[in-house]
Structure 1
Amino acid sequence: MAKVTAQDLGQEPIGKLLVKQAVPASIGILVMSLNILIDTIFVGNWIGANAIAAINVVLPVSFFIAALGMAIGVGGSSIISRALGAGNTPKALRTFGNQLTLTFLFTITFAVFGLIYVDTLIPAFGGKGNIFAPAKIYYEIILYGVPILGFVMMGNNVIRAEGKPKFAMYAMMIPSVGNLLFDYIFINILDWGMAGAAWATTGSYIVSFIYILWFFLSKNSELKIDFSHFALHKEIVSEIGSLGFVTLARQAVVSVTFLLVNNALFNYGEETSITAYAIVGRMMMFVLFPVFGITQGFIPIAGYNYGAEQFARVKEVIYTAIKYATILGTIVFLGLMVFPEVITKWFTDDADVIRITPNNMRLAFAAVPILAVQLVGAAYFQAVGKAIPALILTLTRQAIFFIPLLFILPIFYGELGIWIAFPISDVLSTIVTYYFLKREVKLKLETA
């Protein structure tokens, strides 16, 4: 695959450029998603169905702390892309240094907090009954590695902002491959059970961190910082915070959603329904990898060209990204509608789980073909530095629509109401995002 530099983001044809950016991002997300998928299959077959539920309970906490690194990475990367597009390299360097400082301070603080309140947090996130004991084992070990994951997520976004998608892809692939290898050793050979699954994940974070550190110290990176760049600057921190808060809010809502759905499903179906939700959630990460990859590839192109005031290219990349992502999302949708029983049997041979999961999977993914508009639309506002609309549109899907529906629909439809909340919220958030995106294109991009 041809090398992409920061300058290419403003020069190459949009279709070709989006492919160059999106393919490595998609491959990285695919490998990462395969890792999560196969890891869950290993855990389900080598440890048991309750182990799948236990990991699903722990995900919200570790996910949120790791999201701190992602938020700082995405917020700062938007600044870096626009700074490079405007030829302002000093600002890009200061931003990267501030990202490193912020990631260190926040991830360590929240990891310590999470370890102190372990016995409170696990039950709150649905880790009750037979799930509590394996969830606690997994949780405590995972949190040791979550700060490292925070640096990995932050660094990955900065690499992509430099126009180096292949290196960002490798940074996502390395922990995925490492985790599966460690899974086999720690769970299957050494028989460490849940502790083995947790140490496999933590070890994979460390390997990826070492790779990303090498990238920034090598000649591959254009961002060569010194100690002066680590000092926090109020203006940069404020801009990172306002843009990164969009990502953090989205990930925080994901964590809250896990908490609410786990508890709601426990009340209706106990451990079995939580296991079904864990399987559906893993498939959500896996099958949408091409859509998420296009969104990731879209962000630096939109940000760079917006900073360079090439608004016609920004408009073109919006429509191209939506078109590509919609086609791929439709293919994913068809596969899930046809083969949900086969997919469920990959994870477990538990008859109850196999009985209830396929129909719920169909419901949860019913609106996938239209999600491209929502994802690309929200990403556009973040890429160009418009934090408020980016935040609102990012939160529409889960916070504004899904969570209220989660409380309302089960009153009338029981457990079915939980599952139909997914597609209804997808449709409503897509409609809202389309309105704001269309308005932005008309008033800003076409007028300019």
Structure 2
Amino acid sequence: MEKNSKMLGSESIGKLLLKLSLPAMVAMMVQALYNFVDTIYIGRGIGTIGIAAVSVSFPIQMIIMALAQMVGIGGASIISRSLGAKDVVKAEKTLGNMLGIIAIFSIVIAVLGSIFIKPILGLFGATEAIMPYAIEYMSVIFIGNIFFSFAMTSNSVIRAEGNSKVAMISMLISGIMNIILDPIFIFGFDMGIRGAALATLLAQMTGVIYILTYFLGGKSTLHFHFKDIKFEWPILKETFSVGASAFARQAAGSILAVVLNNLLGLYGGELSIAVFGVINRLLMFTIMPMSGIAQGFLPIAGFNYGAKKYDRVKEVIKTATKVTTIFSVASYAILMIFPEILISIFTTDAELIAQAVWATRINVSVIFLVGFQIVGSSLFQAIGKAGPALLLSMSRQILFFIPIVFIMANSFGLEGIWATFPISDALAFTVTLIFVMREMKILNQTIEKQKIELSLQTETAE
């Protein structure tokens, strides 16, 4: 409701960040737990080849997620700034344009994905042994992307108006449903990997039903009007421009996964692809709390930037950075100390466990820098600066990782592939630090200018 938007500009930053981040963190942890549990069921019920199939399928899901996040985060940034500037009409037009364009995207993906499923999976690294399992899984996921995309886009809107609790509940509903349905479909109905995909589809449908009751029940600050589905190029252009950074981050992650799957298949075979699948699930589980903080950070920074309350923007940057750094340091310690225990949850394959343990330790050796990177790239999304947001989103995967991994793989083989992760993280951190320091300097100058103008106005009034 409207009070949720007003609190973005008035409530204390620490309390506000906790209020908006905690629900997002809980919801994302449940989603990560689903991926975690899903991989456990697949690993123990189908084996290493099942984990490899899901690992190959994951970058395709990342592209679907990239499109949904581009529309969701890009549009949500406009909505946050519009509400901060008290322009509700523009916010509602943005909502209509977002829902219209994501519907088109998801239908196109469902149709083209179903028609060209085998060549797509081949491109993403599916070997002859992996292909049948990957086809079973993705044939369902392509259809289900319609619900997933709508849920992700809508949740960004709900957070933009300051009602993160509703977004949390929708994700909790789908995540918990997924965890419950997985063993029923995989083992109870003996559907194997297709059962895991069907569980995902039905769980997402349940989450979407809850979101629809929120919007259609008049509980939102924004009101949906069919006339707002009429596309307006300035709104779409700004949505794509600001959301391009979110798209680039996810799409780059997908491209990275394709490159990795093919290189790992070449240098280590299906076992190494499965190792990457397990490590990826562990990293998702540790990164999700920080992503939840970023989700809470976005509407606060965007609203206050739109309202020209730059001192609050500066404060939320500092607070979010401190909290994400604590989480990233804790993640580093856990993954470095207990990798064997964590990996053994997924599989009993001794060879997979042995390779995954040392690969994990190499992979996460500078993960304590990631918290700052997440807040830094989110800052430019929140304030609508598309160029820096896009560059920072692409820096780790595209600018650094992909060129370096080919050199490292050619020089050092499998060990070189794993070593590329910390090298890329360190370089991306450096670039993010430079951009954030420059933006903080601009904010400080703007705050000082505001103080001088206020002082002059006070003197004139006297």
TM-score bracket, shorter-length normalisation: over 0.9
Query: % of aligned pairs identical?
Result: 42
Deviation at 1:445, TM superposition (A): 4.1
* TM alignment of 1:50-129, pairs within 5 A: 50-129=49-128
> Shift in Å at residue 360 of structure 1?
0.5
**Structure 2 equivalent of residue 231 of structure 1:** 230
What are the equivalent positions in structure 2 for 1:24-423 lying under 5 Å apart? 24-423=23-422
Q: Aligned to 2:308, what secondary structure does the other structure show?
A: coil
Contact 1:314 1:445 in 2 (8 A): no
State the secondary structure of the residue aligned to 1:130. Answer: coil
Contact 1:348 1:354 in 2 (8 A): yes
Q: 1:445 to 1:152 in 2, by over 3 A?
A: farther
TM superposition shift of 1:315 = 0.5
CA distance in 2, matches of 1:376, 1:86: 23
- Please give the residue correspondences for 1:418-437 in structure 2 after superposition, counting only pairs within 5 Å: 418-437=417-436
Corresponding residue SS for 2:220: coil
Relative to 1, partners in 2 of residues 1:4 and 1:130: Cα closer, same or farther, differing over 3 Å? farther
- Using the alignment, how far apart are the partners of 1:398 and 1:68 within structure 2? 17
**Per-residue deviation, residues 157-178 of structure 1 (Å, max 9, x unmatched):** 0010010011111121111111
Query: Would you say the 8 A contact 1:216–1:224 is kept in 2?
Result: yes
- Tell me the C-alpha RMSD between the 2 structures: 1.2
TM norm structure 2: 0.95
User: How far is 1:110 from its partner?
Assistant: 2.2
Pairs within 5 Å for 1:435-446: 435-446=434-445
CA distance in 1, matches of 2:68, 2:351: 38
> 1:17 maps to what in 2?
16
Give secondary structure in 1 for the equivalent of 2:11. Answer: coil
Distance in 1 (CA, whole Å) between partners of 2:306 and 2:208 is 30
Q: 1:281 to 1:4 in 2, by over 3 A?
A: farther
Q: Taking structure 1 as reference, are residues 16 and 107 closer, same or farther at Cα in structure 2, changes over 3 Å only?
A: same
AA aligned opposite 1:340: P
Read off the aligned partner of 2:430 and give its amino acid letter: I
Residue 129 of structure 1 aligns to a residue whose secondary structure is coil
**1:62 Cα deviation (Å)?**
2.4
Q: Is the 8 A contact 2:82 2:306 kept in 1?
A: yes
Q: Deviation digits for residues 159-199 of structure 1, max 9, x if unmatched?
A: 10010011111121111111111112111211111111111
- Aligned counterparts of 1:378 and 1:308: Cα–Cα separation in 2: 21
| Rounded Cα–Cα distance in structure 2 between residues aligned with 1:111 and 1:254 | 21
**C-alpha distance in 1, partners of 2:403/2:62?**
22
Aligned-partner residue type, residue 185 of structure 1: I
SS of equivalent to 1:225? coil
How far off its partner does 1:276 sit?
0.5
Conservation of the 8 A alpha-carbon contact between 2:65 and 2:250: no
Amino acid at match of 1:388: G
Deviation of 1:329 after TM superposition, in Å, equals 1.0
3-state SS in 2 of match to 1:220: coil
Q: CA deviation at 1:444?
A: 3.4
Corresponding residue for 1:8? Answer: 7
Number of aligned pairs?
A: 446
Which secondary structure does the structure 1 equivalent of 2:130 belong to? Answer: helix
Separation (CA, whole Å) in 2 of partners of 1:380 and 1:4 = 24
Instruction: Provide the rounded CA distance (Å) in 1 between the counterparts of 2:224 and 2:196.
Output: 36
Give a deviation string over 1:7-33, Cα, whole Å, max 9, x none.
Answer: 101101111111111111110110000
How many Å separate the matches in 2 of 1:254 and 1:4?
Answer: 37
Q: C-alpha distance in 1, partners of 2:407/2:295?
A: 34
Question: How far apart are the structure 1 equivalents of 2:21 and 2:3?
Answer: 12
2:406 and 2:443 map into 1 onto residues whose CA distance is: 38
Deviations 1:44-63, CA, capped at 9 Å, x for gaps: 11121110110111111122
SS of equivalent residue, structure 2 residue 129: helix
Quote the Cα distance in structure 2 between the aligned partners of 1:110 and 1:73. Answer: 17
Q: Distance in 1 between matches of 2:244 and 2:324?
A: 25
Q: Is the 8 A contact 2:109 2:142 kept in 1?
A: no
Q: What is the CA distance between 1:66 and its match in structure 2?
A: 3.1
Per the TM alignment, residue 82 of structure 1 is displaced from its structure 2 partner at its CA by 0.4
**1:4, distance to aligned residue in structure 2 (A):** 7.0
> Aligned partner of 1:315: which letter?
K
**Residues 288-309 of structure 1: CA deviation (Å, up to 9, x unaligned):** 2221111111110000000000
Cα shift at 1:67: 2.4
- Partner amino acid for 1:133? P
Superposition deviation, residue 325 in structure 1: 0.6
Query: Which segment drifts farther, 220-229 or 73-82?
Result: 220-229
- Could you say what secondary structure the match of 1:175 adopts? helix
Amino acid aligned to 1:175: S
Residue deviations 1:200-231 (CA, integer Å, cap 9, x gap): 11111111111111111123211112111110
Structure 2 CA distance, aligned partners of 1:49 and 1:411?
26
The residue type paired with residue 41 of structure 1 is: I
Q: 1:89 to 1:4 in 2, by over 3 A?
A: closer
- For 2:203, the aligned partner's letter is S
Contact map agreement 2:17 2:296 (CA 8 A) in 1? yes
Task: Answer yes or no: is the 8 Å Cα contact 1:340–1:362 preserved in 2.
Answer: yes
Instruction: Write out per-residue CA displacement over residues 234-283 of structure 1, whole angstroms, 9 at most, x where no aligned residue.
Output: 11011011111211121111111111101100111111101100000001
Question: Match for 2:284: what amino acid?
Answer: M
SS of structure 2 residue aligned to 1:58: helix
**Cα offsets for 1:347-371 (capped at 9, x unmatched):** 0011110110011111111111111
Q: Does the 8 Å CA contact 1:4/1:165 hold for their aligned counterparts?
A: no
* Bigger shift: residues 308-317 or 361-370: 361-370
State the AA in 1 paired with 2:360: M
**Structure 2: any 5+ residue segments left out of the alignment?**
448-462
